Amino acid sequence: MQFSDKIYVAGHRGLVGSALMRRLEKGGYSNIVTRTHAELDLKDQRAVTEFFAQEKPDHVFLAAAKVGGIVANNTYPADFIYQNLMIQSNVIHAAYSNEVKKLLFLGSSCIYPKFAPQPMKEEHLLTGVLEPTNEPYAVAKIAGIKMCGAYNRQYDTNFMSVMPTNLYGLGDNYDLQNSHVMPALIRKMHEAKIRGDAQVSVWGSGTPRREFLYGDDMADACVFLMENRNANDTGEFVNIGVGEDITIRELAERVAKVVGFHGELVFDSSKPDGTPQKLLDVTHLNKLGWRAKTAMDEGIGKAYQDFMRRYGA
């Protein structure tokens, strides 16, 4: 990417999108195009086609998506598959039609089989059944990967796909019904501390293992790939993570320590655990020249500070 190139960040208000904006601006990129959902509904094919024809972006970061935790995915499966398929199909095709130089599509580690070998390598895609609670979302993201690859083969485009692990950080969603585990725990612990509660209930048994990547690290990896690599380098897609995981119990204990909640943690085994383990193999990414920088306790601290700025009152 050249500093003068026009860069479109789709989903610039989300956790990854806002991190991309910070990283791009810090890196000296000033010709950045954005649209809010009210200004451009990415599910509307005609609107997306007109936007690309008018703006003619050189590079696209496709971070727009309908996302959520296990509750949201399990409750609104039709919304998750429909909205994500429409968003990514419209943007990817419009990027091809308007000769975008390079596009980066953000997927999710839920694309891997529920019982995939650990750590999960890129070649484990489509080697087993998916986790039922988020299968519609995963199918949509798999379709996005395959769509980018198909356009590369047929039209010689330069569309890369990346699969991030669980993300957290600045600008996260703290709605207890729709958020991921990290922001949900931050909010639960904070509210329990304020009320003086003796205990906090945590979904599941606490035994599943998860990997967590700070959002600004994710953005840094994406910009690194767009600046230094092409689709031929990354293959069908590349994992983005830290290469280490912890149990949900350990995560809850770390969040409680950072937030300052000193009560008891009670694990509700009647609630679903989801996939037993989701750890990405990041060997490929490391060989391409990038590694995560933010330690988890540091990242949780920054996330909690952001939560306090936005919702502390």
**Residues catalogued as catalytic:** 137
Dihedral sign from CA coordinates of 167, 118, 251, 273: positive
Residue 102 annotated as binding site: no
Residue 257 annotated as binding site: no
Residue 180 annotated as binding site: yes
The vertex-246 CA angle with 267 and 174, nearest 5°, equals: 65
Residue 164 annotated as binding site: yes
Residue 290 annotated as binding site: no
Residue 245 annotated as binding site: no
Residue 146 annotated as binding site: no
Q: Which of 248, 178, 186 is nearest to 211 (CA)?
A: 248
Residue 284 annotated as binding site: no
- Cα gap 60→56, rounded to integer Å: 10
Residue 108 annotated as binding site: yes
Residue 166 annotated as binding site: yes
Residue 16 annotated as binding site: yes
The residues with which 238 forms a beta bridge, in sequence order, are 162
Residue 291 annotated as binding site: no
Secondary structure letter of residue 130 according to DSSP: P
Residue 11 annotated as binding site: yes
Residue 299 annotated as binding site: no
**Phi, psi (deg, nearest 5) at residue 215:** -55, -40
Q: Which of 70, 170, 161 is nearest to 110 (CA)?
A: 70
Task: Give the count of beta carbons closer than 10 Å to the beta carbon of residue 31.
Answer: 14
- Cα gap 234→229, rounded to integer Å: 7
Q: Are 219 and 16 in contact (CB under 8 A)?
A: yes
Alpha-carbon 144 to chain mean position:
14
16: helix, strand or coil: helix
- Cα gap 18→41, rounded to integer Å: 18
Q: Are 234 and 163 in contact (CB under 8 A)?
A: no
Residue 210 annotated as binding site: yes
The DSSP element (H or E) to which 165 belongs, if any, is: none
Q: Which residues are annotated as a binding site for NADP(+)?
A: 11-17, 106-109, 141, 164-167, 180
Q: Which residues are annotated as a binding site?
A: 11-17, 106-109, 141, 164-167, 180, 188, 203, 210, 273
Q: Which residues are annotated as a binding site for substrate?
A: 188, 203, 210, 273
